[in-house]
Structure 1
Amino acid sequence: MSVISPLVSVILPVFNGRPYLHDAIASILTQLHDDFELIVIDDGSTDDSVSILEQLDDPRIRLVRQPNQGLAATLNRGISLARGQYIARQDQDDLSYPERLAKQVAYMDSHPECVLLGTWAQIMEVDRLVERFHRHPVDEAELRYQMLFNNPFVHSSVMLRRTALQQVGGYTTDPDRQPPEDYELWSRLSRAGSIANIGEILQIYREIPGSMSRVGPSPFRRRLIKICAENLAAAAQVSPDDPDVVAIAALTHGEADALPGRPDFTRMQALLLRAIESFASQQQAPSLRQDALSRIEAMQAGWMMRDSAAYGLLQAVGPVRNVAKRIWRLIQRFRSAR
């Protein structure tokens, strides 16, 4: 590590992370790229996480303890302490492959316009590595298209340019906007520079039952819809309160009941196509336009299903969400099979 300033600052927030903490830290300390500092912030853990951390003897580790402040505030403290040109994330229960930082640094060095860089990840179900993966888009136009609707980055895999983080203001701590603090920040960063994913499995992402992002309680979903609407509005150059923007965002995330009446699917289609034109080249646009048409078709089919007797029967059995997403996937499979 450089004496004065490391090239990379890795931020690892900890809250009751005992089961997997040692392995997560070890996966960073064994990186092939060694010009980094590891900022570990214990956010008021009540288990013995701190005792594990205090046993670590490595000059690259900077250990900070604080009363519990929550993830977003803890990450912002890490950013304020960081000395590196690049800031990398690591979660207490995920694992980074040894070449992760080296490959991300090489990419960021050769792409000075890039402000946000993720990687692909393999999924581990608690302690079992499975044949499931997060393979998010690599092509920037497709990545920006996916950003209109949801988060196409594995949070624990990202590397960020510190100057861009300072420009947009770091993670929001506004309870009306987070969680998802990651999607919210990526959305602002995407308007400040280039974004990318490395199309290689460089991390293991651990799924633990009951995590908020997987269960998706209603307040989380409302915030997700708000950020989705802002991204659509920015790309289409309209207000986030535009009724067509609101309808696309709500139907994308299964909240049809939040809409005051029947959406105008023709206008929604035109708006989504206009959004695509803001970031896609002539070569990239056709496939994205096709997907956009499929999405709106699926939303319209899902809305029509709401008026049917079958929908009422399904609701009697249990909550029906994301009908449009399921129909859209069926349309995609049908078209790819032709």
Structure 2
Amino acid sequence: MRPGGFLPSVSVCIPVYNGESYLAETIRSVLEQTWRDFELVVLENNSSDRSWEIATSFRDPRIRVERNRETLSQGENWNRAVQLCRAPLVKLVCADDLLHPRCLELQVPPMRDDPSLALVASRRHMIDEQSRVLVPRRGLGAGLVGLHSGSEVARRVIRNGANPIGEPGNVLFRQEQFVTAGGWRADRRFIMDLDLWMRLLQYGDFLGVPETLAAFRIARGSVSSEYEQQISDEQQQLIDELGESGTFDVRPLDVRIGRIALPLGRARRKALFRVSRIAARKDDKLMAEQEEAASAR
């Protein structure tokens, strides 16, 4: 609770483990929000690099830096990060991703003013290691802009064969519903975000805003780029669960289309990772040439 006994309207949390390369840029993107009424919680997961020093170097009263005594699994760390948040609305931002300055300004008021909403999401850019845009305005395809019921979103997610809603950075959710839904599931390591979104949509509607309000980084060594088969397997499990649960109005045809779409989703991800690797190799070559030129002087 902040001085005077007032809670912020929204909490942004950044769970970080060995994230020194991009952490400062991520924190700055949160602090530059035009919506000023927020707290930023950084949870440092007992890293072996300079993540703790970087997080504690910021002198902004809205930042609270916490540290785990021992290294937790990703799911446990993400759950603890949300548990440390004090506002009713929460956004989790991975330690290498970015927020657009107006992200909270455009996402918080709809959630605050409409209790029937369970999620608000936006589009996001896909960026490389140098924060250059690889693919602009990605996400909310399949007609997910605007107001939709949980069943409408479930059918579109299944038929998409991937994650048309997006990663945590471009999504806002309610703390209370997060707890009721059971939080992030560690056994869904590769689709923890999409799995949670679908469970949260049991409690309310979905609003997709058309603006691009976040950036998701694709870097060498990204978990997503190394475990394509596991991602596809977990996506298949989720499709089957959504089709069988009875929670949403999902038709057998939706599930059949989803199974056909899975390879297409996998191909889109692989193409994105390939573009990122090409950009990284070009950067490495340029840096090597610059170092060679400097040493020759």
Taking structure 1 as the reference length, the TM-score comes to 0.67
The amino acid that maps onto 1:207 is I
Indicate if the aligned counterparts of 2:155 and 2:250 stay in contact, CA closer than 8 A.
Answer: no
C-alpha distance in structure 2 between counterparts of 1:109 and 1:247, whole Å: 37
C-alpha distance in structure 1 between counterparts of 2:249 and 2:35, whole Å: 41
Gaps of 5+ in 1: 255-297, 299-320, 324-338
Q: Name which of 154, 170, 179 aligns with 2:183.
A: 170
C-alpha distance in structure 2 between counterparts of 1:206 and 1:134, whole Å: 12
Sort the Cα spacing of 1:218 and 1:205 in 2 relative to 1 into closer, same or farther, 3 A.
Answer: closer
C-alpha distance in structure 1 between counterparts of 2:23 and 2:192, whole Å: 22
Indicate if the aligned counterparts of 2:82 and 2:92 stay in contact, CA closer than 8 A.
Answer: no
**Structure 1 match to 2:276:** none
**Structure 2 match to 1:103:** 106
Q: 1:124-143, aligned counterparts within 5 Å? A: 124-127=127-130, 128-136=132-140, 137-139=144-146, 140=148, 143=153
After superposition, the C-alpha distances for 1:17-39 in whole angstroms (9 at most, x for unaligned) are 11111111011112111111111
Question: Cα distance, 1:78 vs. partner?
Answer: 1.6
**Structure 1 match to 2:46:** 44
**Structure 2 match to 1:29:** 31
**Structure 2 match to 1:191:** 202
Indicate if the aligned counterparts of 2:190 and 2:230 stay in contact, CA closer than 8 A.
Answer: no
Aligned length: 252
Indicate if the aligned counterparts of 2:9 and 2:89 stay in contact, CA closer than 8 A.
Answer: yes
Identity across aligned pairs (percent)? Answer: 28
Question: Cα distance, 1:82 vs. partner?
Answer: 1.3
C-alpha distance in structure 1 between counterparts of 2:225 and 2:164, whole Å: 15
Deviates more, 1:244-253 or 1:206-215: 244-253
After superposition, the C-alpha distances for 1:229-262 in whole angstroms (9 at most, x for unaligned) are 1122333579xxx9x88765544324xxxxxxxx
C-alpha distance in structure 1 between counterparts of 2:267 and 2:217, whole Å: 25
The amino acid that maps onto 2:10 is V
Higher relative contact order, structure no. (Cα contacts within 8 Å, ≥ 6 residues apart)? 2
**Structure 1 match to 2:72:** 69
C-alpha distance in structure 2 between counterparts of 1:120 and 1:322, whole Å: 20
Indicate if the aligned counterparts of 2:11 and 2:41 stay in contact, CA closer than 8 A.
Answer: yes
C-alpha distance in structure 2 between counterparts of 1:213 and 1:190, whole Å: 24
CA-based RMSD: 2.6
Runs of 4+ in 1 over 6 A off after TM superposition: none
1:150 aligned onto 2:162? yes
Question: Cα distance, 1:2 vs. partner?
Answer: 4.8
C-alpha distance in structure 2 between counterparts of 1:29 and 1:245, whole Å: 42
C-alpha distance in structure 2 between counterparts of 1:46 and 1:33, whole Å: 33
Taking structure 2 as the reference length, the TM-score comes to 0.76
Sort the Cα spacing of 1:163 and 1:100 in 2 relative to 1 into closer, same or farther, 3 A.
Answer: same
Q: Name which of 11, 15, 18 aligns with 2:13.
A: 11
1:120 aligned onto 2:123? yes
Sort the Cα spacing of 1:76 and 1:145 in 2 relative to 1 into closer, same or farther, 3 A.
Answer: same
Which is higher, the Rg of structure 1 or of structure 2?
1
**Structure 1 match to 2:282:** none
Gaps of 5+ in 2: 269-297
**Structure 1 match to 2:281:** none
